[in-house]
């Protein structure tokens, strides 16, 4: 499933940049890392973003398919247009349960939806007469420079949407130097994903309830070069993924053919568990974890330790006491609990609690460049996306993921110009106001 029919009109600068990239791409000295770095250099400080509307009108007309769904990634106007395209592709494989898995929140999906709608509670304060033709979108997190503050969230079982799973996502993320966090339970291994990414990805840890397995997973990630271990702490209970269960009713396949009961069978398709004895594991999520577990983990993690799933100032302060290096404000895309609390709604509380001592990242409901700007303005160091890139992946493979990132980056650059921020550090709370 690839799409090469980009129709976007190119400016002179874009053509020159593309020629330069082609020149570098032909070089035998080029590694994926250097390509990422070159791409981000070319991207930062350029006039890339949206063409003026008359340029688009002069371009060739791209019609939708008869069902009103895009037929090529390049035709998408926003990330929402990938959602029906992904649905069509997944249902075309007669896999409604996989579609339900991706879309599901918990209970009535109230928290899932609140994550996005709550961005409307902030408005953006624009600033006029600042020359912002050249903006720099790069950010530095833990000493690493990323080309964009938008990162790829860990999403389990990407193999349900693409044969190469996280490897395909990594290739797209590398193009403009986006960082990605790989889930413990992706189908691809941290070593393969890091290789495709051209630099080590962060590793998201589900520790299981066997400490030996926890240690091995951390060792595997660190020997693949992962600079950060991201412990997900929001799955302590069971969950009612009702949307998934509803779609499952339509699925004619025998799900237990792949999802064989028993932990060993369940993770036999998950490369990060290769060569690890999981016979004593009874649960993946480490249910029953406490702050003592964080202390124990802190002692074995050599690089950065990040907690994903923090939603209150109290927990953020506690994390500081336990030597955590970073936080991700997250409710698992509304898939952990039905609290009704959006992540953007609690971001200020968490940012204020840590007082700049460690970076606070956020994910959940980010669908527009303006959402990215709002989160950065409130104090996030970087902003994650989950479902949008999987929609791109399921519908058009690597090209789809690439286009999702391109759209979000372009929207983000456009709104950076409107607030007159030439780089990320100039995006501050002054740029937003409560609606």
We find the least distance from the C-beta atom of residue 180 to ligand FMN, in angstroms, to be 11
Q: Is 409 in the site for ligand FMN (CB under 6 A)?
A: no
| Contacts with ligand FMN, 189-228, as mask; x by CB under 6 A | ---------------x------------------------
Which residue's CB is nearer to ligand FMN, number 44 or number 294? 294
Token digits of residue 319:
């994390």
Q: Say if residues 152 and 366 touch (Cβ distance below 8 Å).
A: no
| Contacts with ligand FMN, 73-102, as mask; x by CB under 6 A | ----------------------------xx
Q: Is 333 in the site for ligand FMN (CB under 6 A)?
A: yes
Which residue's CB is nearer to ligand FMN, number 185 or number 378? 185
Q: Is 148 in the site for ligand FMN (CB under 6 A)?
A: no
Q: Is 374 in the site for ligand FMN (CB under 6 A)?
A: no
Which member of 70, 170, 185, 281 binds ligand FMN (CB under 6 A)?
185
Which member of 147, 303, 364, 400 binds ligand FMN (CB under 6 A)?
364
Which residue's CB is nearer to ligand FMN, number 207 or number 379? 207
We find the least distance from the C-beta atom of residue 229 to ligand FMN, in angstroms, to be 12
Q: Is 308 in the site for ligand FMN (CB under 6 A)?
A: yes
Q: Say if residues 385 and 369 touch (Cβ distance below 8 Å).
A: no
| Contacts with ligand FMN, 26-65, as mask; x by CB under 6 A | ----------------------------------------
Which residue's CB is nearer to ligand FMN, number 146 or number 202? 202
Which member of 75, 81, 192, 363 binds ligand FMN (CB under 6 A)?
363
Q: Is 408 in the site for ligand FMN (CB under 6 A)?
A: no
Is 332 among the residues known to form the active site? yes
User: Closest residue to ligand FMN, Cβ-based?
Assistant: 386
We find the least distance from the C-beta atom of residue 365 to ligand FMN, in angstroms, to be 5
Residue of 98, 197, 220, 332 marked catalytic: 332
We find the least distance from the C-beta atom of residue 154 to ligand FMN, in angstroms, to be 4
Q: Which residues bind ligand FMN (CB under 6 A)?
A: 101-102, 115, 153-156, 183, 185, 204, 232, 308, 330, 332-333, 335, 363-366, 385-387
Where in the sequence numbering do the catalytic residues fall? 332
């Amino acid at each position: 499933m690839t799409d090469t029919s980009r129709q976007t009109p190119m400016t002179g600068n874009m053509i020159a940049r593309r020629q330069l990239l082609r020149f570098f791409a032909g070089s035998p000295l080029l590694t994926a890392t250097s390509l990422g770095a070159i791409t981000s250099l070319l991207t930062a400080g350029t006039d890339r973003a949206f063409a003026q509307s008359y340029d688009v009108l002069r371009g060739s007309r791209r019609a939708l398919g008869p069902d009103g769904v895009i037929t090529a990634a390049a035709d998408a106007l926003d990330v929402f247009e990938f959602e029906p395209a992904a649905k069509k592709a997944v249902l075309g494989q007669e896999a409604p349960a996989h579609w339900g898995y991706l879309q599901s929140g918990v209970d009535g999906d109230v928290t899932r939806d609140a994550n996005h709608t709550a961005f409307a509670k902030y408005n953006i304060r624009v600033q006029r007469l600042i020359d912002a033709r050249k903006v720099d979108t790069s950010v530095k997190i833990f000493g690493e420079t990323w080309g964009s503050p938008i990162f790829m969230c860990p999403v389990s079982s990407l193999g349900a949407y693409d044969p190469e799973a996280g490897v395909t996502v990594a290739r797209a993320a590398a193009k403009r130097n986006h960082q990605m966090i790989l889930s413990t339970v992706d189908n691809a291994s941290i070593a393969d994903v890091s290789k495709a990414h051209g630099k080590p990805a962060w590793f998201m840890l589900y520790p299981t309830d066997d400490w030996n397995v926890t240690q091995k997973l951390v060792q595997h990630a660190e020997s693949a070069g992962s600079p950060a271990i991201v412990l997900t702490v929001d799955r302590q209970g069971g969950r009612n993924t009702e949307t998934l269960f509803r779609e499952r009713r339509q699925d004619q396949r025998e799900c237990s053919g792949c999802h064989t009961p028993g932990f060993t069978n369940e993770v036999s398709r998950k490369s990060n568990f290769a060569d690890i004895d999981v016979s004593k594991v009874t649960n993946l999520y480490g249910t029953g974890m406490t702050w003592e577990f964080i202390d124990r983990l802190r002692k074995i993690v050599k690089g950065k330790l990040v907690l994903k799933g923090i939603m209150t100032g109290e927990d953020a302060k506690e994390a500081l006491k336990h030597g955590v290096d970073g936080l991700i404000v997250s409710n698992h895309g509304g898939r952990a609990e039905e609290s009704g609390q959006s992540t953007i709604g609690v971001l200020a509380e968490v940012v204020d609690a840590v007082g700049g001592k460690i970076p606070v990242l956020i994910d959940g409901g980010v669908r527009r460049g303006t959402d990215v700007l709002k989160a950065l303005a409130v104090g996030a160091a970087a902003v994650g996306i989950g479902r949008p890139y999987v929609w791109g992946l399921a519908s058009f493979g690597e090209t789809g993921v690439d286009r999702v990132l391109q759209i979000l980056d372009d929207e983000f650059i456009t709104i950076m110009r409107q607030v007159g921020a030439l780089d990320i550090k100039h995006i501050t709370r002054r740029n937003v106001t409560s609606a």
